[in-house]
Chains A and B, each alone.
Chain A
C-alpha cells in the first residue's frame, strides 16, 4: 500500500491542498492508496506539499496544484518517481535540518487526529511519567526546564503552576489561551491543526500537576480548522481513556472542552479571556488578584499559551534538563519562530534561543519576497517594536530583545521591504488599539484615538515639533497608565517607528 500525505493545515488549504487531495483520491481510486491529511511541515512556500512513503524513504513534491496530479502519477509518484516538483526528503532541506523541532516534532509527520499515530511517535509518554509522579514533582520538572510563557509575557511556567498547586480550592481550572491574534503568528494554529494531541496531553499534565479536573481551550473563531482537529482529537482521547474520568486507570480525572472567541483581540489578554469564558464582555480585570489565585469563575486557574502547554509533554518525557539544555542565558528551550509578511521563505522555524535575527531573515528566510531590501521588521506581534537594519544582529532571546527596547513575544516576525511607510505603520498601531481596546481604562481607550490624530497632524506638517513632543508625552501616559499590555505596549511600535524612521514622519534624522 502507498501512503500519501497532503496537509489539512489552513494555509495549505488556502493554497489549494483540498483540490489536490480530491484529485489524488479520484485518480488513484481502485489502487491500494491511503491519503493521510497531515499537518504542515511549515515550509509554506512549498505548500501544498505532497509526500509519499516510498521505497527510498519519505519523499516530497511541491508546491503541487490539482492540475499537476496526472503528471505526478505518470512519473511514478506512488514509488517516489522523479518529477520537476520532486524535492527529496523534506527533512534534508537546510531550512528544516537546522531547526530544533521539540514541540513541533510530530507536526507534518503524522496524522494529527490518529491516536495510534501519536502513540507510535512518542506520544503520551510524558503523561505516563506524570501519572507516576507527585504533583510537586511534575511542577519541578517544568520549573527545571526553564520554560517561560510562550504567549509573549515569558513568565516562568513552573512558578505559575506552583502557585495554582498551592492554592487550596474545591475546583481548579486549566485554561489554554488559543486566541492567537498577533499578526505574523501561526504556531499555535499549526500545533492545533497538526498535532492536537500534544496540546491535549500538555493540558492533562498541567491538570495533574496543579489538581485541576477541568480544562478549556479558548480558541479564536478565525481558526475553524483547528476547532475541527481539536474536537476530533478530544473525542478520540476520551474514547481511548486519555481524557475523562479515571485516566489510564489512575483514578485521576481531566475533562476538556473547546470554547470559541468572537473576534476580539483583547481576549488574548488572560483576564479578558477569563471574562469572555464566563460569558461576559472581555473587559480586562485588575491584577492582583492573579488568575492563579482567583481565576475562572473565581477559582485558581492556570492560563497558559498553546505552545507552553504543548511543551509540557516533551519536558515530562525527557526531563526538565533535556529541555533546558537548549537555549541561552535565561531563555531556555526552543521558540517556534514564525517568518511572515514580505519574506521569500515564510514559515515556521523552531530553534533554540540564541540565533540572530539576521541569520533567520537572510540565511533561512532568503530576504524579502519582493526582492527589495528589507527595511523594517516587527517582532512580537502588533505590540512589538519595529527593528531597523542596524539591529538585525540582536540574538533571538528574551533578554537581548528587552535590552534594545523590543519584545520577542510569541515569536512572530513580520518583514517589510523598503516601500513601507513607517508613519503609516505607527498610525495603524494606534488605530488597531482604537479598534481593539476593551475600553476599561482611559489611557488606552482615549489615548489611542488621540494618538491617531496627533500622528496625522505630524504627517500633515501641522506644528510638527510640538505635536511630536505631544505624541511622546501621550505614549508615556499610555505606557505608565494603562491597565494591560494593549494600552501600555501600543507605544512600542509607535515610538520605535518614530525613533528609527523619523524621515517617514517628515522629521530630520538624528545625527
Chain B
C-alpha cells in the first residue's frame, strides 16, 4: 500500500488525460502498465471511481487480457512464441531450454528480479521462426545458443 501512495499520482494523471475519450479503459490500462510496468491492485479502485464502473468490472477487464499484469515484472520481460509456425521450427525445445536456464516457468520472475518469462501466441515473425521478444525487441530464428547470447547481453543491462 505504501508503494501505491507513490504511484497514485501517476494513475490519477493517466485517468485525467483519458477522461474525455470514448472506450477509454484499455488505453488507460496500457498507460498505467507502460509507466509503472504493471497495474497495481490498489489502482483498481481509483480507475473504477473515475470511470463510474464497479471494481469487479475493472478487475474483469484486467484479468481478461493476457497482456495486462497485476504484479511487477522483472527488469526484462521475455516472451516466447508458442504458436504453430514457431513449433514447426523447434520452439518447444527453445521453451524448455529457456525455462531450464532461467529456472522459472511461464508467468514467473527470476529470484534476482532480472527476467520475467511469458508465453505469447504469435508475434507475426513467422517467416523467421522461432521468435521471441525481450522487452520490445523481436528476435527471429532463435536457437538455444542464440538465446544464451541474448541472455548474456541483457544480464549486463
Q: Which A residues fall within an 8 A CB radius of B?
A: 10-11, 13-15, 44, 47, 180-186, 188-189, 221-224, 259-265, 276-282, 297, 338-342, 346-348, 369, 378, 382, 412, 414-417, 420, 425, 428, 432, 435-436, 438
Contact = CB atoms under 8 A, between A and B. Distances in A.
Interface of B: 22-27, 29-30, 51, 60-61, 64-68, 83-89, 120-129, 131, 133, 136-141
Contacts of A260: 26-27, 30
Contact of B126 (A47, A221, A414, A436): A414
A185 B26 contact: no
Nearest to A181: B122
B84 A428 contact: yes
A14 B88 contact: no
A183 B86 contact: yes
Contacts of A265: 121
A186 B124 contact: yes
Given A435-B121, A436-B121, A280 B61 contact: yes
B23 A340 contact: no
A382 B83 contact: yes
B23 A44 contact: no
B129 A340 contact: yes
A172 B139 CA distance: 40
A191 B32 CA distance: 29
Q: Max chain A CB contacts within 10 Å: which of B27, B66, B131?
A: B66
Contacts of A340: 85, 126-127, 129
B26 A181 contact: no
B84 A180 contact: no
Contacts of A189: 124
B122 A222 contact: yes
Contact of B128 (A15, A183, A184): A15
B68 A15 contact: no
The 4 closest A-B pairs by CB, nearest first: A279-B25, A183-B83, A263-B67, A262-B65
A342 B89 contact: yes
A412 B25 CA distance: 32
A302 to B, nearest CB: 17
A282 B125 contact: no
A279 B19 CA distance: 13
Nearest to B61: A281
Nearest to A412: B126
A435 B23 CA distance: 25
Nearest to A370: B89
Nearest to A369: B89
Contacts of B124: 10-11, 180, 185-186, 188-189, 222-223
A306 B9 CA distance: 38
A111 to B, nearest CB: 21
Nearest to B66: A263
B68 A262 contact: yes
Given A181-B122, A341-B85, A414-B84, A262 B127 contact: no
B26 A259 contact: yes
B13 to A, nearest CB: 19
Contacts of A186: 124-127
Contact of A11 (B127, B133, B136, B137): B127
A280 B57 CA distance: 8
23 contacts: A13-B137, A14-B131, A15-B140, A47-B128, A183-B83, A183-B86, A184-B83, A184-B85, A184-B126, A185-B124, A221-B67, A261-B65, A263-B120, A264-B64, A265-B121, A277-B26, A278-B22, A340-B85, A340-B126, A414-B88, A416-B88, A432-B83, A435-B121
A222 B27 contact: no
Given A183-B122, A262-B65, A262-B68, A346 B26 contact: no
A47 B125 CA distance: 12
A503 B77 CA distance: 40
A338 B121 contact: no
A293 B81 CA distance: 37
A414 B124 CA distance: 12
Contact of A262 (B26, B87, B121): B26
A14 B140 contact: yes
Nearest to A377: B88
Contacts of A282: 64-65
Given A14-B139, A186-B124, 6 more contacts: A11-B128, A260-B26, A279-B51, A281-B60, A341-B129, A416-B88
A260 B124 CA distance: 16
Nearest to A225: B138
Contacts of B83: 183-184, 382, 432
A438 B125 CA distance: 25
A279 B24 contact: yes
Given A180-B124, A262-B26, A282-B64, A425 B84 contact: yes
Contacts of B24: 279
Contacts of A347: 127
Contact of B88 (A223, A382, A417): A417
Given A259-B23, A260-B27, A341-B126, A14 B121 contact: no
A322 B66 CA distance: 43
Contact of B64 (A183, A184, A281, A415): A281
A348 B127 CA distance: 9
Contact of B23 (A47, A277, A339, A346): A277
Contacts of A259: 23, 26-27
A229 B119 CA distance: 26
Nearest to B88: A341
Contacts of B123: 10, 222
Contacts of A15: 128, 140-141
A250 B86 CA distance: 48
A422 B65 CA distance: 29
